[in-house]
C-alpha cells in the first residue's frame, strides 16, 4: 500500500536547500537534526572541503562521530594520529577524541557525518580545541556540528 507519509514517519531534505556553515572551516550543511527532523537519535551533516581547507580541531563529549567519505580524500587527525580516508571508506571517531579534517589533495572532498547519541543539551555537544578560522560566523541550529 502506497499511503502518504506524515512528517513524523519521514523527513526529507536536499543538501542544496540547506545553507552552508563555515565557522570551523570548509562548508558544513546540517541535514538531519533534532529541531528539523524531530529526531533524538543523532545528527547528520554533509562536509565539503576544497583543496587546502580544513575543519579545526574539536571533540564531542557525548557523541561518536561516524564519517563516510563520498568523494575525494580527507586526512583525519585523531588525537594527533593521522588517518587517510579515501572515497567509499568510513571511520568511527569515539566520543571524547580530539579530531580535525584536512583536504591535502588537489580536488574537492565530501564527507557524510553522523553523530550520536546527542548531548543532553545542544551547547554541550561540541568543544573546540583550536581557534576557528571564522569565529564571527553564526553557529548551526544545533550545537553538535562537526
Could you report the per-residue pLDDT of 84-129, keeping only the tens digit for each? 999 999 999 999 999 999 999 999 999 999 999 989 888 899 999 9
- Options 2.60.120.10, 1.10.10.60, 3.60.15.10, 3.40.50.10680; CATH for 17-128 is 2.60.120.10
Q: Which residues contact 17 (CB under 8 A, 6 or more apart)?
A: none
**pTM of the entire predicted model:** 0.85
Q: Is the pLDDT reported for residue 143 higher than 60?
A: no
**71 in Cβ contact with 47 (< 8 Å):** no
**Residue from 13, 26, 129 nearest 80 by CA:** 129
pLDDT at 146: 45
Q: Which residue has the higher pLDDT, 81 or 10?
A: 81
Q: Is the pLDDT reported for residue 78 higher than 80?
A: yes
Q: How far apart are CA 57 and CA 73, in angstroms?
A: 18
Q: What are the angstrom distances between the C-alpha of 138 and each of 20, 87, 124, 141?
A: 11, 30, 17, 9
Q: Is the pLDDT reported for residue 56 higher than 90?
A: yes
How far from chain centre, in Å, is Cα 13? 16
Alpha helices for 30-137 (secondary structure H): 34-37
Amino acid at each position: 500500500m502506497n499511503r502518504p507519509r506524515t512528517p513524523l514517519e519521514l523527513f526529507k531534505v536536499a543538501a542544496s536547500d540547506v545553507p552552508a556553515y563555515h565557522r570551523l572551516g570548509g562548508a558544513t550543511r546540517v541535514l538531519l537534526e533534532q529541531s528539523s527532523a524531530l529526531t533524538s537519535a543523532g545528527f547528520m551533516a554533509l562536509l565539503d572541503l576544497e583543496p587546502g581547507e580544513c575543519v579545526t580541531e574539536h571533540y564531542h563529549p557525548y557523541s561518536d562521530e561516524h564519517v563516510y567519505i563520498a568523494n575525494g580524500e580527507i586526512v583525519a587527525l585523531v588525537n594527533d594520529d593521522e588517518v587517510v580516508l579515501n572515497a567509499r571508506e568510513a571511520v568511527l571517531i569515539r566520543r571524547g577524541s580530539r579530531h580535525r579534517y584536512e583536504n591535502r589533495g588537489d580536488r574537492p572532498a565530501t564527507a557524510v557525518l553522523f553523530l550520536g547519541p546527542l548531548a543532553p543539551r545542544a551547547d554541550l555537544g561540541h568543544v573546540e580545541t583550536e581557534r576557528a578560522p571564522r569565529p564571527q560566523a553564526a553557529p548551526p541550529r544545533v550545537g553538535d556540528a562537526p
